[in-house]
Amino acid sequence: MIWNFLILYKLKTMKVLVATDKPFAKIAVDGIRKEIEAAGYELVLLEKYGEKANLLEAVKDANAIIIRSDIIDAEVLDAAKELKIVVRAGAGYDNVDLAAATAHNVCVMNTPGQNSNAVAELALGMMVMAVRNMYNGTSGSELMGKKLGIHAYGNVGRNVARIAKGFGMQIYAYDAFCPKEVIEADGAIAVDSAEALYETCNVVSLHIPATAETKNSINYDLVNKMPKGGLLVNTARKEVINETELIKLMEDRPDLKYVTDVMPAAHAEFAEKFAGRYFTTPKKMGAQTAEANINAGIAAAKQIVGFLKDGCEKFRVNK
Chain contacts with ligand 3PG (rule: CB under 6 A): 22, 68-69, 90-92, 115, 284, 286-288
Find the largest Cα–Cα distance for the chain. 79
Of 115 and 242, which has the nearer Cβ to ligand 3PG?
115
Q: Which residue is nearest to ligand 3PG (CB)?
A: 90
The residues, ordered by sequence, that sit 6+ positions from 137 with a Cβ below 8 Å of its Cβ are none
CA dist., res. 26 & res. 264, Å (int)? 29
Collapsed DSSP state (helix, strand, coil) of residue 49: coil
CB of 30 to ligand 3PG, least distance (A): 18
Of 123 and 188, which has the nearer Cβ to ligand 3PG?
123
CB of 248 to ligand 3PG, least distance (A): 27
For residues 272-288, one letter each, b for 16 or more C-beta atoms within 10 angstroms of the residue's C-beta and e for the rest, the string is eebeebbbbbeebbbbb
CB of 237 to ligand 3PG, least distance (A): 7
Of 31 and 286, which has the nearer Cβ to ligand 3PG?
286
CB of 286 to ligand 3PG, least distance (A): 6
Of 91 and 223, which has the nearer Cβ to ligand 3PG?
91
C-alpha triplet 50, 122, 170: angle, nearest 5°:
150
CA dist., res. 269 & res. 161, Å (int)? 32
Q: Do 295 and 289 touch, CB atoms closer than 8 A?
A: no
**Burial status of residue 187 (CB atoms within 10 A of its CB: 0-12, 13-18, 19 or more):** exposed
Of 202 and 288, which has the nearer Cβ to ligand 3PG?
288
CB of 22 to ligand 3PG, least distance (A): 6
Going edge to edge, which strands form the sheet with 64-67?
42-47, 15-20, 64-67, 85-88, 107-110
Of 256 and 287, which has the nearer Cβ to ligand 3PG?
287
CB of 70 to ligand 3PG, least distance (A): 8
Give first-to-last CA distance, the chain, whole Å.
43
